[in-house]
Structure 1
């Protein structure tokens, strides 16, 4: 494993377990066995490493998402798989990591820009799936795509709100509840 990859894996493990604030570059170096010089050749600082980690997670999620949407299954089944995919990725990190990410970097234009680009990439693919599902009669044709996307953004804001995170035992549980409500409503019918 390359030094850069080792740093990334160790940092993910530490950040996801303890949060961002509690983990220093020194902690990452000690656990990975990599020198300070090697770290700074790969990443300019801890923030740069966090962006790299988020981009790596996004790339992996997008590969799985693209593979899922290419399947010849109903839109409802794709939503169920999307829920499972979101839950799988939410298991990767702790509530503390998500909270600190939102708190520490809400005023960081570089990180906000990258997160926005990642969100837009996934959203563009999802819009294509909504349009296909509307054409097939699987999604109510009276619902506008803009409204569906606005609701998704509303749910995303809900997920990122610290007081809502505190209602659940884990990020995974919060995302599962939110996605089920969005996809299947209060009836909970997902079969």
Structure 2
């Protein structure tokens, strides 16, 4: 039943913002009573944290699966960024804004998730460098920080493209950051091979959507 409640609450929060949605709104949209709701959650804050954690756990699972399907560390690096972007773009800017402002514990959970993602990316860049894909002197930590910053800026930063940009615009910017910025750290000897790999990935993904 928790999964049902959290799914319904997630949809309401995305549409209206978590601050505006009441427990009565959530109960009215689910087959549970108010009493049953409080048997499962102490309050709305606990629901939001549980819902956010479920969302992030699903993101981790998808990232792990995306990485395990690839034989090349560099392709895994691109794949986990693609999955991250695809999953996190489900969130609305109003949801992000209100969670940041009113529900700091959920923000802390996202920060932990972000750290997990950064560690995975660092591992794949390091493996790619050892395999000769990445320029020897590249600053791995700097690359990962910039990638995540840029992707998050598109999704829920000052650009606010969730509300103002078209889906194609968002996908195009995400693709440019993931594919082109990663190309910038590839060694000259591997550029042509990288372009071939990415061409196949673009066919597989269609777009970063």
TM-score (norm 1): 0.79
Say if 1:120 and 1:88 are closer, same or farther in 2 by CA, change over 3 A: same
**Does 1:118 find its partner at 2:113?**
yes
Q: May I ask how many residue pairs the two structures share in their alignment?
A: 186
Q: Of the candidates 125, 134, 143, which is equivalent to residue 130 of structure 1?
A: 125
Instruction: Assess if the C-alpha contact under 8 Å between 2:77 and 2:121 holds in 1.
Output: no
Greater relative contact order (Cα < 8 A, sep 6+): 1
In structure 2, runs of 5+ residues without a counterpart are 185-194, 200-209
Residue aligned with 1:142, SS? coil
Q: Which 4+ residue blocks in structure 1 deviate beyond 6 angstroms?
A: 186-189
CA-to-partner distance for each residue in 1:159-184, whole Å, 9 max, x for gaps?
46643115842689547614522541
Say if 1:156 and 1:135 are closer, same or farther in 2 by CA, change over 3 A: same
Partner of 1:67: 65
Residue aligned with 2:134, SS? coil
Q: Distance in 1 between matches of 2:176 and 2:97?
A: 22
Instruction: Assess if the C-alpha contact under 8 Å between 1:90 and 1:172 holds in 2.
Output: no
Instruction: Assess if the C-alpha contact under 8 Å between 2:77 and 2:125 holds in 1.
Output: no
Residue aligned with 1:122, SS? helix
RMSD: 3.1
**Does 1:155 find its partner at 2:153?**
no
CA-to-partner distance for each residue in 1:37-77, whole Å, 9 max, x for gaps?
22122222222111111111111111121112122333453
